[in-house]
A and B are shown apart, each in its own frame.
Chain A
Amino acid sequence: MGSRMPAAQGRLAQGGTRDDGIGRRMIVVMVLSCLAFLARRVELLLLLTGINAVAIFWLHRGPLSLRREMRTFAWQTAIILGLHLFRFRTMAGLWLGFKVSWQLFLALLPGMVFARTASQSGIVRVLTRVMPGRAAFVLSTCMRFIPRLLGEIKNIYEGQVLRGARILPRDLVRPWHWADLLHCVVVPAVVQGMALAGHIALAARARGFERFPRRTCWPGE
């Protein structure tokens, strides 16, 4: 193998300790998430929403489309409102449910944006300062494969809908259909998740993961 570096591969980071402020960003994300659990009044939730907007601009170093996150918020809110309506059957109950959903979203949003905007290598480099290198790798790999697992769950869901499972959103309004969701989607999803974990572990071991006690870190992105 030659050792000459092609011109196309010139964008390299130097050194092994650079973190591009990921450590700082991670701390801000954790603080914002914790604050969401303390903010119970509407004024505080509004204030925190504003702070989040500024923080997201800073995390991404510019404006960022939150279409995907807002879709998650809409789904989460619909489910929580449904449950509160079932439990309280009043407008006050619905308002309480909306606040819970808002609070939960503010707790999750900074982490979701951080996962989208920070490089995996950078996250591992920061995490290795506070936890063993292997644990940091496992944590970052779990984050990387979440979209893949969600894709598998989507496949399972669509196949089961056509097999007759009562799991469309309008079916799930009736709680007695929730058993289908558990039975036809959650169970195979867990089986698939375990199989995926097995494949990832094998792929990592095939490249020497856990073979030697000391693990270093790629210095680039």
Chain B
Amino acid sequence: MQLDEQAPLLRMRKASFRYPDAAEQVLKDVDLEIAPGCCYCLTGPTGSGKTTLARILSGLAPDGDGGGELEFAPAVASAAMPVGLVLQDPDVQLLASTVGAEVAFGLENLGVEPAAMPERVSAALTAVGLAKAHDFPVDKLSMGQKYRVLIAAHLVMEARLLILDEPGAQLDPEGLLQLRGLLERLKAAGIAVLLCEHRPEPLLAVIDEFWQLTGDGRLQPGRWTGTAVPSGSWSVPSCAGLSEALLHAEDLAFQGADGQDVWSGVGLELRRGERMVVTGLNGTGKTTLLRCLLGFLAPSGGQVSILDGLPEPGRLRGRVGLLFQNPQSQLFENTVREEISFALKRLGLARSTIAERVSQVLQGFGIEDLAEASPHKLSYGQKHLVALAAVLAPGPELLLLDDPLAGLDGYRSQEVLELLVRWSDHHNMALIWTSHEPDLEYPWAHRVLRLEGGRLVAA
């Protein structure tokens, strides 16, 4: 396909959008142009409309009232699927079980003859630099490779613009490095890229232009100031004064279903009030480690002692909190107040005590105005806060968090982090925090460890 290098691939004029139950438009009079071979980065706070704009550009506008014009260059408009959209979580987008079938999914939908598919699939895999057999299982790919398969799945449909929604939320530094190399090659081939990303640092080298959604629906030219990564103004805490051991693990090992060690020889000790970070690339077994420490999974070797006893979940109720990567999945009550009260009721506290504790938590988290709101109707960032408040309400002695900032913008990340550190200091609560971003700094942590090559080592 021949494209005029100067002419834009697409133009958007005066685009606006309002969700059915929203008072305000999420996008207002958005104008933009996308040129071939350029990489743009769209930034903005969580909920500012980045994904909405990405969906409109790719012809998948959500339900709601929209207006404006979207115009494609003639050479692009003739393509079956000129815009490819790769969403945040690769695992929910992999619809087939093998690499070949996955990349060919779009061709199946376009009605391409089966005999013509293998050659086109091979070409797309070559373009993303992935030398895998067509029958290679997608489940055995690394997260970075899965991401490249998804890009190939759009290239095979002759996409001229690729929209990548928050690749940094799931990809570890290794995956992002691979992605950066791929984006350089795609740009050289004339393919435009739009990144919707809170933390574009690892991809800065390929970005040509920044745009910012300001939160009031307007799109402005932006520039990267490097403030999105939570930095905080904490001084490095000292372990002096922390004495009582809450958790002790010795020579811990865990074997996967294939009989191979996921990790082994893991030893750690956590004291009351201590904040520990465990980093590691995707698939190194961070979540598995948390599960073993809590007794939800049995290790294949070694011993764990937690709160002066064996790791038995029933014994740890109310004393240990656990928050997974998608904390809002734990919300189930009708109001925020009831959500926070739940754990307190199960502890058998008196009604007056529960009411008082809930008020304190709501106030401490600055969400008093949300007390009677449905947790399910809150924004992504607010749900995060409510889930955290619900876990902290019973006053756990230890909190385990599995990559808790994934998908949150810099402002919200900072807010969550400050709340946690303040709570930890005030209640002498110990923390274990896992992260797929080993390159970040954790100045608020007493200790940073790294899971690497099946061993837990000091970072």
Contacts and interface: CB of A to CB of B under 8 A. Distances in A.
Contacts of A146: none
Interface in B157-185: 157
Interface centre among B91, B134, B345 (most CB of A within 10 A): B134
A12 interface: yes
B322 to A, nearest CB: 5
**Which of B92, B316, B322 has the most C-beta atoms of chain A within 10 angstroms of its own C-beta?**
B92
A171 B317 CA distance: 13
B329 A220 contact: no
A218 B108 contact: yes
A1 B124 contact: yes
Given A141-B95, A162-B316, A164-B346, A216 B112 contact: yes
A76 interface: no
Interface stretch (B80-88, B352-360, B431-439): B80-88
Contacts of B234: none
B330 A2 contact: no
B58 interface: yes
A161 interface: yes
B122 A162 contact: no
A217 B135 CA distance: 15
Interface string B81-106: 10011110101110111101100111
Contacts of B318: 162-164
B107 A216 contact: yes
Contacts of B60: 202, 205-206
B346 A159 contact: no
Nearest to A141: B95
Given A188-B332, A208-B80, A162 B100 contact: no
B410 interface: no
Interface size class of B (residues with CB under 8 A): 35 or more
A87 interface: no
B119 interface: yes
Interface stretch (B125-133, B419-427, B440-448): B125-133
Given A1-B155, A4-B126, A218-B104, A121 B321 contact: no
A5 B133 CA distance: 11
Interface in A6-38: 6, 8-12, 14-16
A163 B92 contact: no
Contact of B314 (A15, A159, A168): A168
B329 A156 contact: yes
B221 interface: no
B109 interface: yes
B390 interface: yes
Given A208-B106, A208-B109, A9 B346 contact: no
A148 B247 CA distance: 30
The residue among B104, B122, B125, B394 with the most chain A CB atoms within 10 A of its own CB is B122
A199 B101 contact: no
Interface string B302-344: 0000000000011011101111101001111000000000110
B26 interface: no
B294 interface: yes
B87 A158 contact: no
A9 B131 contact: yes
Contacts of B93: 199-200, 203, 206
B70 to A, nearest CB: 16
- Most chain-A CB neighbours within 10 Å: which of B105, B157, B320, B330? B330
A211 interface: yes
B122 A6 contact: yes
Nearest to A210: B109
A76 B106 CA distance: 40
A215 B95 CA distance: 15
A77 to B, nearest CB: 21
A3 B132 contact: no
13 contacts: A2-B126, A4-B126, A5-B123, A120-B101, A148-B92, A159-B391, A161-B314, A163-B330, A206-B154, A207-B105, A207-B157, A211-B109, A216-B114
